[in-house]
């Protein structure tokens, strides 16, 4: 008896399910071909879907509203924290911006120096030292402990330390004019020196303790020869002063070779 009852209930359920499914027309069937009952079923199906999507949209709107509220709270917390930190170090936004710009300038100078060859870098050790001193001054400022700058300053200090180079000292012993034709112009033009006489001013400026007048050098003098590099701004200024003085000295002799 129980077996027949189970079979009967299962059969009724299958029939009802089939009837319910048969009330929904195939999705591919055009609306114009629907029977009234099929059209009503399709409309009810669409309404049900719309209700579900509306509910999902509302849920998403609620989530977005909550996220916006949380974001506003975080922004307010950040601003308050920002103000408290600045208050602790006794700085304001303008001072931090100025500090940031100074760090940026140092970063640019470090990049420029790192791009130089070792020989060129050896001639700029004064600039490296000045850069290190400038960074140390910034490190003494309380603003340097801000998270934005702390690691950056440590990295910059490490990079600047890596820019120090020992200058290779090369010397040349001056010969006689009669035998060697040695003057600063000719020495600079020698293949083993610079192969460029126009760089004579570099030798002069590297030996101002020995050479008072670049037109006068003496046999036996041991001159320091700096590494070959473009003439620096200071060397250009010295050369211009030399030629101004030369023109002012003897108007009748304008072709004296430097060092002759």
Q: Tell me, what's the pLDDT at 1?
A: 46
pLDDT given for residue 119 in this prediction:
77
Cα(177)–Cα(102) distance, integer angstroms: 52
Torsion of CA 194, 196, 199, 202, to 10 degrees: 10
The answer to whether 162 touches 213, Cβ cutoff 8 Å, is no
The torsion region of residue 141 among left (phi > 0), alpha (psi -120 to 50) and beta comes to: beta
CA distance 229 to 117: 10
Tell whether pTM > 0.85: no
* Phi, then psi, of 256 in degrees rounded to 5: -65, 130
Tell me the two tokens of residue 245: 């003085």
pLDDT at 257: 59
Q: What is the DSSP letter of 33?
A: G
Q: Which residues pair with 171 in a beta bridge?
A: 224
Q: What is the pLDDT of residue 8?
A: 41
Q: Cβ–Cβ contacts within 10 Å for residue 165, how many?
A: 18
C-alpha distance from residue 217 to each of 50, 177, 182, 184, 203 (Å)? 100, 10, 8, 8, 11
Structure confidence at residue 80 (pLDDT): 85
| Residue 192, pLDDT score | 84
Low-confidence ranges of the chain (pLDDT < 70): 1-27, 167-169, 250-260
DSSP 165: -
pLDDT for position 151: 95
Domain spans of the chain? 93-161, 170-249
What kind of architecture, by CATH, is found in domain 170-249?
Roll (3.10)
Residue 251 CA to residue 245 CA, distance in Å, equals 11
The span from the CA of 217 to the CA of 258, in Å, is 10
What is the longest distance spanned by two Cα atoms in the chain? Answer: 142
* φ, ψ (nearest 5 deg) of residue 45: -65, -45
Query: Which is it for the CA torsion 163, 197, 172, 233, positive or negative?
Result: negative
pLDDT tens digit sequence for 123-182: 788 999 999 999 999 999 999 999 999 999 999 999 999 999 876 658 999 999 989 999
């Amino acid at each position: 008896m129980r077996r027949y009852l189970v079979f009967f209930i299962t059969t009724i359920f299958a029939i009802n399910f089939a009837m319910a499914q048969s009330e929904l027309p195939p999705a591919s069937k055009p609306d114009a071909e629907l029977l009234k009952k099929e059209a009503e079923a399709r409309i009810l199906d669409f309404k049900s879907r719309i209700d579900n999507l509306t509910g999902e949209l509302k849920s998403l709107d609620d989530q977005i509203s909550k996220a916006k509220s949380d974001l506003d709270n975080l922004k307010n917390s950040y601003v308050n924290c920002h103000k408290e930190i600045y208050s602790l170090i006794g700085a304001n936004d303008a001072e931090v911006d100025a500090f940031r710009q100074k760090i940026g300038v140092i970063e640019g100078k470090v990049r420029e120096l790192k791009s130089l060859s070792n020989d060129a870098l050896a001639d700029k050790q004064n600039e490296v030292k000045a850069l290190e001193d400038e960074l140390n001054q910034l490190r003494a400022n309380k603003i340097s402990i801000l998270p934005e700058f702390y690691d950056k300053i440590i990295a910059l200090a490490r990079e600047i330390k890596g820019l120090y180079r020992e200058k290779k000292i090369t010397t040349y012993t001056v010969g006689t004019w009669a035998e060697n034709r040695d003057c600063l112009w000719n020495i600079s033009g020698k293949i083993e020196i610079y192969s460029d006489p126009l760089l004579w001013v570099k030798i002069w400026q590297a030996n101002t303790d020995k050479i008072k007048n670049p037109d006068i050098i003496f046999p036996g003098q041991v001159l320091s020869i700096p590494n070959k590099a473009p003439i620096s701004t200071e060397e250009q200024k010295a050369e211009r002063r030399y030629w101004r003085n030369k023109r002012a000295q003897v108007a009748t002799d304008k072709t004296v070779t430097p060092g002759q």
